[in-house]
Amino acid sequence: MIDNLLTEKENPASANIDRLSTEEMLKVINAEDGKVAGMVAAEIPRIGEAVDTIVKAMGLGGRLFYVGAGTSGRLGVLDASECPPTYNVAPDLVQGIIAGGEAALSRSTEASEDDAGSGARDVVAHGFTSADVLCGIAASGRTPYVLGAVAKARSMGAVTIGVSCVPESELSRAVDIAITPVTGPEVITGSTRMKAGTATKLVLNMLTTGVMIRLGMTYGNLMVNVQPKNGKLEARARRIISRATGCGGEEAARLLSASGRSVRTAIVMGRLRVDREEAERQLAAAGNVVARALGEN
């Protein structure tokens, strides 16, 4: 029963929130939000297992699919949509599927979350295969749409991950890797876009960021796969090259141009004092991982 879910319980810390001053009201919300990072930290072993599993699948040609409804679905679509501009990966490498389709991103269609069959059909319609990884997202851990998608993925032999905020939920029992930050009752009873939503966003950030780091999209904490497609990104690319090689701005601009506008290649050229052809050869031999090409891995 949904009435018994931890995320639906009343929070004693905010029982009189409507009678507080605006500043005190916000302090209550902030204090509850402050608890979320610790709850996510407790799930790092499971998050780490999920990252390594996704990296392994992607190394074999697989992709990551997020599936959710309502706020959970929107968070999945948001995280997936940020991967191409941040790391210049293919748009289909990380995909978000939301109950109700694209219309649900801006207008609530929450009734669609109760259709398990729709979840299964949407996974198939998006071209999901047994080589892919499916991550079901549901704060309650009981959303039929998500459970239907997970069941379909498992029937295909794919690895499944579940992100929920309720211990021993249906979702956590249905997946291979269960990530369950227990965020407890919300400041506003049942408003799981708050602490549960924040915890979910933190988990998804960790999943895709961890995956991209493992795939060699960074050198240290620098985004080396950035593509200088506008003025802001051009300046960012030059700064990254400068920081990675220790050169000045003019030399960074020269390296970027000489590399064919590849930040990775420019860094290897600058650090190893080689031409573009040799830098590209070194990178190819190192699986496009800059640290490995520089002999640091």
Neighbours of 111 (CB within 10 A): 10
The band of 113, judged by pLDDT with boundaries at 50, 70 and 90, is confident
Domains of the chain and CATH, by start = 2-214 (3.40.50.10490), 218-293 (1.10.8.1080)
Cβ atoms of 233 and 239 closer than 8 Å: no
Pure H helices in 88-194: 116-125, 144-155, 170-174
Q: How confident is the model at residue 84 (pLDDT cuts 50, 70, 90)?
A: very high
Residue 113 bears catalytic tag? yes
What is the pairing mode between strands 159-163 and 177-179? parallel
Nearest to 202 by CA among 185, 225, 181, 217: 181
Question: Could you say which of 82, 234, 251, 278 is catalytic?
Answer: 82
Q: Are 241 and 256 in contact (CB under 8 A)?
A: yes
Q: Judge residue 119's burial from the number of C-beta atoms within 10 Å of its C-beta, 0-12 exposed, 13-18 middle, 19 or more buried.
A: buried
The side-by-side arrangement of strands in the sheet containing 159-163 is 94-98, 64-68, 133-137, 159-163, 177-179
Q: What type of residue sits at position 198?
A: T
Q: What is the mean pLDDT of residues 4-19?
A: 70
- Would you say residue 8 has pLDDT above 90? no
| Catalytic residue check, 82 | yes
What's the N-to-C CA distance of the chain in angstroms? 51
Identify any residues that bridge with 68 across adjacent strands, giving them in sequence order: 98, 137
Higher-confidence residue of 138 and 189: namely 138
* Percentage of residues in the chain having pLDDT higher than 90: 74
- Phi, psi angles (nearest 5°) of residue 92: -95, 0
Catalytic residue among 113, 170, 186, 280: 113
Least confident of 30-39, 123-132, 236-245: 30-39
Q: What angle do CA 158, 43, 74 make, to 5 degrees?
A: 65
pLDDT at res. 238: 96
d(CA 297, CA 285): 13
User: pTM (2 decimals)?
Assistant: 0.89
